[in-house]
Structure 1
Amino acid sequence: MSDTRTLAGVHPVDLGDGVHAFFTTGAGGVSPAPWATAAGSGLNLGLNVSDDAARVAVNRSLAAERLGAPVAFATQVHGDTVIELGAAERVRWAAHPPPGSAGEGDALVTAERGLGLGVLVADCVPVLLADPEARVVAVAHAGRKGVLAGVVHRALDALVARGADPARVRAAVGPAVCGRCYEVPAAMRDEVAAAVPETFATTRAGTPGLDLPSGVVAQLAARGVAATRVERCTFEDPDLFSHRRAVAAGTTTGRQAGIIALV
């Protein structure tokens, strides 16, 4: 769905009629370094990375303006809990300034028109899901622990419980660290790959790695859901926030988001 509002660096995705969805990048907000990129002032949307809360509120307002609806975010804990949001939450998140969290969980689902759902990442996999016919959408935060816990499956279960058909569900898998850059101990790679074989990877240095985006795509395919994958690696792309890149540089960084709403 097209929209006249602009925000620097947004990567839109088509998830069907009546659904507005996009992934943000690190640019277009008001945060200074280290919560910014070379492209300019940063659109850091995370509250837990030492950025000033007032700046984060402005950045979230810019994202909501681009969406055309308030955007709810959860406190993500690398689990598989799904939080359902509805009319009361739409009113709450439309308040100014926006509240900090919709609760503790790693997936959000709603059938409420005009309420955005956001998933925060800086290397983990952001997943957007929609059934345009059933009029229900969801987001999921799929890091290593989330992929193992099946957070994407739980988000799909929540959609189905609200009338979605996996054959109709459309998914977008956003920018995340790729298998060439995500080095892990061999035992960790083996543990994750035993559950989700598609995550098995080898880094550029020839060391054990994990390809979480491929694992998420495989989990979706196992449920009959075809996914659009945004082929951008957060570690490699300087326009995106990367926790691993920041740690290597001895600093911190911001959080970008996948955002979706029924409109």
Structure 2
Amino acid sequence: MRPLSQTLLKVCGATGLGDIEAAAAAGADCVGLWHGVPGGPSELALDGLAALVAAARPAGLLPVLVTFLADAGELAAIVRRTGVAWVQLHAYQPPAVVRALREALPAEVGLVKVLHVDEAGGCVERPLIGAYERAGTDLFLIDTATGDGRIGSTGAALDPGRLTALLPRLTRPFLLAGGLSAAGRPAYEDVVRHSGFRGIDVDTAARNRVTGRFGVPEIAALARAWRTGIPHTAAPAPAGGFPDHPRLELSR
């Protein structure tokens, strides 16, 4: 199974085996699987989640549970049943949930906490960043919160200039989300050069505009642009090692 890339590419919202196959063929590292996202367009029943986790691993993809759930016991049971590798807390779960989940899960299961940045650059979780880190967060994901309160796969772009005040507060690595595209990669050069940057999380730009499903050319273009800085559609750059954090070296 291939190692994780130096610049991680996570595509989010797979709902079928075709999405898993496209993500793997195009060079993605991780696939986000929604469960516990009420009304979400990519929401999976528990059996569907388990089936896609089982398909992702042999395809070389790290399966990530993306959830709004906040019950640590329920989440731990889902991890045990499905075998997901990471849990991405994508709502406003407090640090106490992260701590309880960290205590309930094996050390090799990664915990990702989303930080929501609004259009003015504010981040509601900013005062809690240190508490999230002490509670056991392995990786942050910085995403957009829209003016009307929507979070998660909104397609709303995150202004790179709004991150300058937030990034120095992080002592854990982070992924970037929020309306990212292959063509928009140059605008984030300063973010990509930050020592904590580990990759991107994309939903909308990973999809074929006609079918709405994950597309190999679209994902390959993202992989090339964000791993090489060249925003053209082509085969993704070869995967490299990812040695920076022990819990990010997870079995896949």
TM-score norm. by structure 2 comes to 0.41
Higher strand share: 1
TM-score norm. by structure 1 comes to 0.40
Higher helix share: 2
